[in-house]
Structure 1
Amino acid sequence: MRTGAAPVSRRALRAVRSSREMRKLIAAGMVLVALLAGGCSYGSVGTENLTGVNGNPGGSTPVTQPSTNTALFHPAAGVLPYPTDLYFAGSTDGTLNIQPANALMPNQAAVNALDGFSTTAVIRERFGGALNPASFTAASIIIVPVTTDNLTKATTGVLAAPLTLGTDFSAGLGQEALVGNTILEIKPLHPLLPSTCLSGGMFLGPNCATGTGYLVFLMDGITDFSGNHAVPDTDYASIKAALPSCAAISDATLHGICQLTGAHMLIAQGLGLNPAHIVLSFSFTTESTVDTLALISATATAQTITVHPTGLTTAAIPGLGLKGHADLYVGVLNVPYYSSKTAPLTDYWHAPPFPLDTTSTFVTRFNPLPVPTATLQIPVLVSVPNAASAFGAVSPAAGWPLLIFQHGLTRNREDMFAVADSFADAGFVVVAVDLPLHGITKQSDPLYATGANPLYAGLGLPASGSIERTFDLSTVPGVIDPSGSHFINLTSLLTERDNLREGAADLITLARSLPHLSLGAAGSINPLSIHYLGHSLGGIVGGTLMGVLRPAEVGTATLANPGGELAQLLRDSPTFAPLIDAGLAAQGLLPGTTLYEQFFRDAQTVIDAGDPINFIALATGNHPIHLIQVVGSAPPPPALVCLAQPTPPGCPDQVVPNSATQRLILAGGLTQVHPPGAAGTTALHVYVNFTGGVHGSILDPTSSPAATTEMQTEAIFFAATSGTQLPVSALAPVQ
């Protein structure tokens, strides 16, 4: 999917949403409601079961099984694999409808706002007894990409050959307390294909008849440690025996599931699988991940961006010891704001009311564009090369090349000072804005954006209050909460997802507006030479941004210390994990329990649509990408030693773990570059491993001046050569 198609008008989208055909797309009488509602109504059996005996959202204590090697499947008791499209039963707007409320699923309400299942989270099935993981082979676990009917959720066709174990997915034992080795856990090794209602960047509307799904076959080659082969549960055995007519099954729920399973068996036969050896089959539809931001990118328009000089240079910034090679400008940009200014910690994006169910405003692939809640005036910070810079103060004839800089979590736009002088010496203007819920919080800061600040005079700021992106939120009366302290929001995962998407949406508007930026006597911008540098969270949001921006709008991107699969990133981060685990423990979610595992599984499912893991392949398809990570020495110091502050030399990144960065590298197909670097005439998609430095070294030379110099030099050359060259010094602390 590319986003270079002609823009889609909002009027056209509204017309499609209200069409009679759209009402047919997710019909109130969808087949699954009739077939499965009865089965889901029994899920309350397991609502208070907190021991994790099966690991399923609607689970309960399993009924007596004929053997310990049974693949558990008992819909009336809510014992099902996860994910499964059976959980769409009763939906009126195309979203999941997992019912009733279940204490084993802390994020159930958020998951029920989605139009499918995760492209990255684990897939699980429980067996009646302990499993032998050596039996998890390519012949015993088969996963087939399929199309699914958006109305019935039936599998309607095969998209591609079965996935490859070890390349596309791994299979192992799910580790949870009290269940032993009874859970088969399948983990995608790169994102699964998402569902979409876009074609060539255009919204299909009522013509969006199918989703993308995966059909899982578990075979009797799965064994326990005694070599006993897996067998189907009673209900699944009855379903197979009743095929193809299903006439022998009188129970309405199982009869409906039997019909869906019949489609599975047709595909199995086409693959040469013997149905007699299948102990369980189930299918699930993936959620849409790209649609909403792709359409925002297709419909966003340039806004007025106004800046004026402050009379300050970078040398005026206290405590940084900068050389003053760039003049500083402040300004404002108006952006459409889709989140809530009045409830920024609990609300999330909303679409117009869905035609079939007007109580639903969930943003899905069937209703993909959110409604702006406000036009938000946000502060802009700009640095411009001056006469003290190596480049000089005279703009190139085509205009200044420009770098968009995006800061990390809990930081603010002033982090751009750390790269302003080096980019000024290379002849770049640098522009920075704050991520949502970030900004300057010290009212004494000379760049605090308020109408009372003379530096902002004439820019149209309100007479009272500030326009900082933090909204000056205050937990302690009279003290503004630290920048970004509310961005990671595990109590409202839809809000966190949309904080990520809002950051990308704001940058789309900024990128589209920058060609019109006037610097007065200092010159103008070269609209064909706009580039991106994001650090940490700025690199994370940048990976998403570059997946939906057209190549001509922003040329290259350097992503410094980013990561993918953000729920797992937080879980593995030496910095964040202890804080998160303590907060979850206070709510009764302890590591190793069903509650804990399902919290993170479902958190990733919700966040997927804002996670760069689902955009980085698109980004590398459209733009040259340069990624930086700090891997430390080989071997690194002990983990406990690396927890010290400041981070000792030789330690890997202690904020974004290397595992999270590697996932992004793998999904993006990036190639490692070693000294002396890479050069050519075509776009590079590369990464560099640093053995020296720390998470923040691209901005702060304290840990390793050599690492900071190398990181910034790489970013400059990459942008200056339009992503075709990346010199890497043999003297730098790199692999």
Structure 2
Amino acid sequence: MKKMLLSLAISTALVGCGGGETLQDVKQETTPVLPSASVKFDPSNGVISIPNDLLLSGTKDGTLNLPGEFDDQGQPLPAAAYANPSLAMGGLDGWSTNMPYVIDLDVPSEVSINADSVATPDAVRIFEVVMGASITDPDCASDKVPAGIACKYVGELEFGPGKDFVAKLTDSGKGIMVVPLKPLKPGASYITALTKSIVMADGRSLEPSSSYSLVKAEAPLVTDSQRSLQAVVQQYENVISGQVAKEDVIYTAAMTIQSVGAVMNNIKLGLAQSLQTQTNPRISVPEQPMITVSDALATVIPDAETRAPFQAVQYMQGSIMLPMYSKKPEGTAIEDLAGTYWKARCDSAATLAGAVAAGVDLSGLTPGANDAYCNAASGGVLRDFGLDQSRFLTKFNSIPSIEWIANVPVQITKPRAELLGIEMPATGWPVVILQHGITANKESLLGLTLALSNAGFATVAIDHPMHGARGLDIDLDGKDDFNATSGQGSVLSYMNLTSLLVARDNLRQSSADLLALRLGLNFIDPTLGINPTDVSFFGHSLGSIVAPNFIAHTNKPIGNETVDNLFKVNTVGLASGGAGIANFLTESGSFGSFVKGSVLSSAGNLPSKAFLEFMTSEATAVCPAEIKIPCSYALYEKQLVEAGNTAALAAIQSVISQFVTVAQTALDSADPVNYAASVQALGTPTYLSVVTGGVDGNQPDAVIPPTTALPLSGTMPMAQLFGMTAVTETQEGEPKNYVVKFSQGHHSSIATTTFEEDVGGTALGHAMTTLEMQKQLATFLASKGMKLPVENTAVIAN
């Protein structure tokens, strides 16, 4: 985490920042009468705020071009090097859709900024634009407008609460924070402009930097690179000049938002194409003795009387072959996962275009093994010549490489109609795909199967990658080396803090697995009495986090109704999920200390050194080895708070905040924040339950907080993105999206009546919450979203 957040030595690859004289060399000497505050902007000396599309200049493959991505010979670094958070964003084709960003100011000690002036509609303006070299707008194609140059005005975002964004002065008074209230459009470009409406305490306007003033002015500059930067900035202002007068602008910066969804869309298309060759995933169920869920739960619930009701649910095991896009690691340490993130199957279109522009004759190159496929699948846009060594997945290169095929166990349950007093439909039992939470396994949701069986549902479930039966035993010693399920390994196997691109792709693999499982359901043995044409979904915790990406793509039409029906999911139920993963993890009562301690211990700076020294002190002797990091961090933070050491706390918060920014940017293409609205637009009825607490001292969900410090992170922000209505009474009529808040219970109440005393509430209250949640879920799914019962209002929160 050294050089964590791009207070980087911006390389000469930046437009307008290369060789010869710097802008500083041509600044005119001035002697200000009064000290003034200005916007920090001096690219020639590496002073820029991010996000900023200057970091796309010089790119060879369409990804952000970060210092340190190439070795001394100019060759790309190995894949594992991108485990370094300061490089992780170099594998992305743009910036975050949802993270706040700060524009740094130079504020002398005797000057202050009027905070109220920052928080006004005219102070910070954000304009959607089309940039040059567009692949979607022919008016702005590369043969008409070069990359990096603003081409066309599209629209302006609205400022203010309940609108698109707000802005405020940072606590230090030396920055302007822009906070998105709605996700920015993936793949779109925006120009952020600061105006003279931002004033200092004495009423004078905030000033542009001297560098910005020079490139803004019409006077010709000295070097080619300086003139290039001048052309970029002046065109920014030209494109938005119909909305804001140039003379009022003191700063502009463009940011292109990363693409999301293209990779998963290609995975679905690949699965659909596999139908033609009959190589598609299929659920296989061998003959087996009849056992019940009660039998399967015997090791977890020894008391036969307690589990007796589950004798009414049949338990079966099957398997399915799933394509894996993450490589298997070569070693057995967590660090060996660093280079296993997804790679593209083809050369990037951006790399190919750059080669052609440089005079390379592609017809004279030797095609690689994937060339015919790449050429056919992309209509000639993508090829495989080995020109793109990094193979990052971007909008220019969105076909992932299948690395291996996994034989994945499938858990199946069915109602025993004769014991439940119900009748199987003539078409077979409708089925619910279940997906479990982090550190759990597919068996953890067996407690939900009785309620679903009573409602007439069969269920199918698989483990997440590197969970449960899907752990990886690399050295073949009979023990998993990578397994995130509690008691079977480290959560870092999946929630990989050592490589953010791997963490992102573990999430994407979970969503891709669900796509393949949904397709495979169509080929289950029809004599089992399961109806693959009537499918719903339920996800808990992590299962509800990967669900929006899955549902947004499985229900997205591909233009073939027959194939579309093979992927269709009718109705969705979610419990205890959330959007804005990186931020809610740091605020999580269960994971926060672990995440912050892990980040701080590996940061490689002074705050990190101080924490590592504390970890070896007597003060942490009380911390068991298995929870050494979170325990030590909690003690360390407590000690600093009690000592009033605000400087150390601020330094730690800076490290954590920088990590969260990079982490969320890396995770964006797997995060619900970018898919929930698509699910709503598709008209898929969705129900969400969340424990907000409030009765008998019951605390809110301690794993995924209902709300966080950021407006787009947590459970309730996800509900808002789904367009959900919060309800406290029974709903009937048209299918809609609902969220129900519970005043008692805990993170896993949907699946178990267990009382978790440490979160507050009562044993009876927790049990009632489970029954109410399960009744709501089963009824909502059975009615296809047309009915949501709210019966036990004693556990319902307003």
TM-score of Structure 1 vs Structure 2, range by shorter chain: 0.7 to 0.9
CA drift at 1:380: 0.5
Q: Residue 639 of structure 2 corresponds to which residue in structure 1?
A: none
- Is the aligned partner of 1:606 residue 2:611? no
1:566-585 deviations in whole A, cap 9, x for unaligned?
Answer: 11011111111111111222
CA drift at 1:219: 0.7
CA drift at 1:519: 6.1
Note if contact 1:215-1:264 (Cα within 8 Å) is conserved in structure 2.
yes
Q: Residue 230 of structure 1 corresponds to which residue in structure 2?
A: 206
Match of 1:263 among 235, 256, 259: 235
CA drift at 1:138: 0.7
Note closer, same or farther for the CA distance 1:297–1:632 as it changes in structure 2 (3 Å cut): same
Amino acid corresponding to residue 200 of structure 2 in structure 1: D
| Counterpart Cα distance in 1 of 2:323 and 2:19 | 44
Match of 1:131 among 100, 113, 116: 113
Note if contact 1:288-1:609 (Cα within 8 Å) is conserved in structure 2.
yes
CA drift at 1:598: 1.9
| Counterpart Cα distance in 2 of 1:414 and 1:475 | 15
| Counterpart Cα distance in 1 of 2:99 and 2:294 | 47
CA drift at 1:303: 1.3
- Is the aligned partner of 1:304 residue 2:282? yes
- Is the aligned partner of 1:696 residue 2:748? yes
CA drift at 1:665: 1.7
Match of 2:521 among 505, 514, 518: 514
Q: Residue 4 of structure 1 corresponds to which residue in structure 2?
A: none
1:243-287 deviations in whole A, cap 9, x for unaligned?
Answer: xxxx5112333321211122222233211x221121101111000
Match of 2:440 among 411, 418, 434: 411
Alignment of 1:560-579 (within 5 A): 560-579=575-594
Q: Secondary structure at the match of 1:90?
A: coil
Point out the more displaced range, 32-41 or 325-334.
32-41
Note closer, same or farther for the CA distance 1:689–1:279 as it changes in structure 2 (3 Å cut): same
Match of 1:679 among 722, 728, 732: 732
Amino acid corresponding to residue 38 of structure 1 in structure 2: G
Q: Residue 653 of structure 1 corresponds to which residue in structure 2?
A: 701
Q: Residue 157 of structure 1 corresponds to which residue in structure 2?
A: 152
Alignment of 1:534-683 (within 5 A): 534-550=539-555, 552=565, 553-588=568-603, 592-593=650-651, 594-622=654-682, 623-633=684-694, 649-659=697-707, 660-675=714-729, 677-681=730-734, 683=735
Note closer, same or farther for the CA distance 1:449–1:486 as it changes in structure 2 (3 Å cut): closer
CA drift at 1:101: 7.0
Q: Residue 783 of structure 2 corresponds to which residue in structure 1?
A: 721
Match of 2:182 among 166, 186, 190: 190
Q: Residue 59 of structure 2 corresponds to which residue in structure 1?
A: 91
Q: Residue 214 of structure 1 corresponds to which residue in structure 2?
A: 190
CA drift at 1:297: 1.9
Match of 1:142 among 100, 103, 125: 125
| Counterpart Cα distance in 2 of 1:40 and 1:367 | 35
| Counterpart Cα distance in 1 of 2:509 and 2:20 | 35
| Counterpart Cα distance in 2 of 1:487 and 1:41 | 48
1:13-59 deviations in whole A, cap 9, x for unaligned?
Answer: xxxxxxxxxxxxxxxxxxx968446179999x9xxxxxxxxxxxxxx
Amino acid corresponding to residue 90 of structure 2 in structure 1: N
CA drift at 1:649: 4.6
1:573-621 deviations in whole A, cap 9, x for unaligned?
Answer: 1111111111222124656344432211011100000111111111112
Amino acid corresponding to residue 385 of structure 1 in structure 2: P
CA drift at 1:449: 12
Task: Give ranges in structure 2 of 5+ residues lacking alignment.
Answer: 1-11, 25-29, 71-80, 134-145, 273-279, 331-335, 352-386, 557-564, 608-648, 708-713, 756-765
Note closer, same or farther for the CA distance 1:657–1:475 as it changes in structure 2 (3 Å cut): closer
- Is the aligned partner of 1:335 residue 2:315? no
Note if contact 2:483-2:491 (Cα within 8 Å) is conserved in structure 1.
no
CA drift at 1:232: 0.6
| Counterpart Cα distance in 2 of 1:483 and 1:597 | 24
CA drift at 1:162: 2.8
1:49-88 deviations in whole A, cap 9, x for unaligned?
Answer: xxxxxxxxxxxxxx99984410111111111121110001
1:198-219 deviations in whole A, cap 9, x for unaligned?
Answer: xxxxxxxxxxxxxx11111101
1:315-362 deviations in whole A, cap 9, x for unaligned?
Answer: 111243321111111111001100012357221000024253421211
Amino acid corresponding to residue 550 of structure 1 in structure 2: N
Alignment of 1:181-580 (within 5 A): 181-195=173-187, 212-242=188-218, 248-271=220-243, 273-301=244-272, 302-308=280-286, 309-316=288-295, 317-318=297-298, 319-320=300-301, 321-322=306-307, 323=309, 324-343=311-330, 345-346=337-338, 347-354=340-347, 356=351, 357-387=387-417, 389-392=419-422, 395-440=424-469, 472-473=480-481, 481-482=488-489, 484-518=491-525, 520=527, 522-523=528-529, 525-550=530-555, 552=565, 553-580=568-595
Amino acid corresponding to residue 705 of structure 1 in structure 2: A
Q: Secondary structure at the match of 1:116?
A: coil
| Counterpart Cα distance in 2 of 1:409 and 1:474 | 14
Q: Residue 460 of structure 1 corresponds to which residue in structure 2?
A: none
Q: Secondary structure at the match of 2:406?
A: strand
Note closer, same or farther for the CA distance 1:585–1:532 as it changes in structure 2 (3 Å cut): same
The normalised TM-score by structure 2 is 0.73
| Counterpart Cα distance in 1 of 2:517 and 2:420 | 28
Q: Secondary structure at the match of 1:592?
A: helix
Q: Secondary structure at the match of 1:127?
A: strand
Q: Residue 636 of structure 2 corresponds to which residue in structure 1?
A: none
Note if contact 1:389-1:421 (Cα within 8 Å) is conserved in structure 2.
no
CA drift at 1:474: 6.0
| Counterpart Cα distance in 2 of 1:728 and 1:684 | 15
Note if contact 1:423-1:716 (Cα within 8 Å) is conserved in structure 2.
yes
- Equivalences, count: 617
Q: Residue 107 of structure 1 corresponds to which residue in structure 2?
A: 85
Identity %: 28
Note if contact 1:674-1:734 (Cα within 8 Å) is conserved in structure 2.
yes
Q: Secondary structure at the match of 1:231?
A: coil
Q: Residue 25 of structure 1 corresponds to which residue in structure 2?
A: none
| Counterpart Cα distance in 2 of 1:68 and 1:574 | 43
Note closer, same or farther for the CA distance 1:34–1:694 as it changes in structure 2 (3 Å cut): closer
Amino acid corresponding to residue 332 of structure 1 in structure 2: S
Note if contact 1:699-1:708 (Cα within 8 Å) is conserved in structure 2.
yes
Note if contact 2:157-2:164 (Cα within 8 Å) is conserved in structure 1.
no
Note if contact 1:106-1:595 (Cα within 8 Å) is conserved in structure 2.
no
Note if contact 2:16-2:230 (Cα within 8 Å) is conserved in structure 1.
no
Amino acid corresponding to residue 130 of structure 2 in structure 1: T
Note closer, same or farther for the CA distance 1:474–1:661 as it changes in structure 2 (3 Å cut): closer
Q: Secondary structure at the match of 2:213?
A: helix
| Counterpart Cα distance in 1 of 2:569 and 2:123 | 46
Amino acid corresponding to residue 538 of structure 1 in structure 2: G
Note closer, same or farther for the CA distance 1:120–1:474 as it changes in structure 2 (3 Å cut): closer
